Structure 1
Amino acid sequence: MKQRPHALIFDMDGLLLDTEGVYKRSWTVAAAGLGYDLTDTLYLSLIGITIADCEKCLVESFGQDFPLEQFRADARSRYEDIVLAEGIPLKPGVCTLLDWAAVLDLPCGIGTSTVTEEARHRLKHHGILDHFAAVIGGDQVIHGKPDPEIYLKVAQALKQEPEHCLVFEDAHSGVRAARAAGMSVALIPDLLPSTEEIAALTCGVFVSLDGTADWLKTLPAGRP
């Protein structure tokens, strides 16, 4: 990327909100309580895809007898207990980047596999919902990431051409979705490390969103 983007699009879980570790703990314990071993390898394969796709993968891995409804309820209960006891912090650099975008009047949007209303609730809880002109959740698309549908919908909502959008992602499926949408993408890995293949699809791999703000400041402004 040689010029500043005209819009910024963000994933949410694992990128803006430090949720992936909470999901991993609650899902692993819930599976174990039912007699199933949710390994690190299996869990990492679920990062960045919709809940429906995650559940499909679990059934494929554990078999048709896997008690999905019981797992879903137990995992949700354990997740909420952890959140109530510990909270969910913002990831480093979130406010810095969003404040910088606001100063430059760069429109921002969310493209998350989380259900829209839950995503809006979490963003509002952290006081950052007003930074986003569009929030598109996994319930608003037919095909989840790595399909480009969700990011194309965010660009449309922001009234921006895909090639002028920059996506921030922590998941490999999200990187692939952004590139399939014709967008540039910056990767900030969370639980899932980068690989040579994924890094080659990005315009940069960063430790945190703080690093992306500093990088964007060095880029010349493009046409409005």
Structure 2
Amino acid sequence: MFSAAVFDMDGLLIDSERTIMNTWIAVARELGITLLPSDYVRIIGRSLRECHVMLAEMLGSEAVFSEARTRVRAQLTEPQAGPLFPLKSGAADLLASLARAGIPCAVASSSGREEIELRLRRVGVLPFFRAIAGGDEVARGKPDPAVYRLAAERLGAPAAHCLAFEDSENGIRAAVDAGMAVVAVPDLKAPTDEIAALSLHVLAQLDDALAHVPAWFGPRASVAA
């Protein structure tokens, strides 16, 4: 059984990846460029720096990427009635169950620390996390294990005692290489057989994790209120 949990954010806790991808595809189309979902998913789970380099290559030049990024940012920051990126189904119940059991939780995300705190605060779950590790705090992004190692260090827990929750191939590899077991909850891209084999479980949605919580974290971590 595990004594701590470490979560990815985008695509796992927060339903943001699809909106961001569709915005990039739409903006590329405005600029006369075809950007396919199969191209875009290659960047999922990577550091912001790596994403920028790969998108510039996909769009043809740094200048076009810079213009596209400006338009994407403008569209993704337009005022709305509620959070731009909603919390995924099952996330709040899972975090509440772990909190009741005294299981410390952390976030290990490719997003920057400031952005992580902003998004989690917007959907009301920031208080559930004892530690945060962002992609801007490590030299290399996922699939490098650095951000997961940093999250475990800040939790004060050995990596082997942490159970990671991830949606992307790069994130799963990063968590495994950090020494953690991983529960895969795919978002935009189904896991390959290799990635599925690296995972402790592959779940269709985060709601399905609740039934496994007592086995993963002990009987005290039940879903009962």
Structures share fold, TM-score greater than 0.5? yes
Q: 1:125 to 1:62 in 2, by over 3 A?
A: closer
Letter in 1 for 2:80: L
Q: 1:220 to 1:144 in 2, by over 3 A?
A: closer
Letter in 1 for 2:138: V
Q: Is the 8 A contact 1:26 1:76 kept in 2?
A: no
Question: How many angstroms does 1:85 deviate by?
Answer: 6.2
Give identity over the alignment, percent: 37
Q: Residue 75 of structure 1 corresponds to which residue in structure 2?
A: 72
Question: How many angstroms does 1:141 deviate by?
Answer: 0.9
Q: Residue 50 of structure 1 corresponds to which residue in structure 2?
A: 47
Distance 1:89 1:57 in 2: 27
Question: How many angstroms does 1:170 deviate by?
Answer: 0.5
Q: Residue 106 of structure 1 corresponds to which residue in structure 2?
A: 103
**Residues 89-128 of structure 1 mapped to structure 2, 5 A cutoff:** 89-128=86-125
Question: How many angstroms does 1:92 deviate by?
Answer: 1.1
Q: Residue 85 of structure 2 corresponds to which residue in structure 1?
A: 88
Question: How many angstroms does 1:22 deviate by?
Answer: 0.8
In the comparison of the two structures, how many residue pairs are matched? 218
Please list every run of 5 or more consecutive structure 2 residues that lacks an aligned counterpart in the other structure.
220-225
Q: Is the 8 A contact 2:185 2:203 kept in 1?
A: yes
Distance 2:217 2:34 in 1: 50
**1:142-173 Cα distance to aligned partner (Å, 9 max, x none):** 10000000000000000000100010000000
Q: Which 4+ residue blocks in structure 1 deviate beyond 6 angstroms?
A: none
Distance 1:220 1:10 in 2: 15
The 3-state SS of whatever aligns with 1:109 is: strand
Q: Is the 8 A contact 2:35 2:58 kept in 1?
A: no
Distance 2:216 2:52 in 1: 41
Q: Residue 223 of structure 2 corresponds to which residue in structure 1?
A: none
Letter in 1 for 2:144: D
**2:34 aligned with 1:34, yes or no?**
no
The 3-state SS of whatever aligns with 1:218 is: helix
Q: Residue 11 of structure 1 corresponds to which residue in structure 2?
A: 8
The CA RMSD measured in Å over matched residues stands at: 1.7
TM-score by length of 1: 0.92
Question: How many angstroms does 1:108 deviate by?
Answer: 0.2
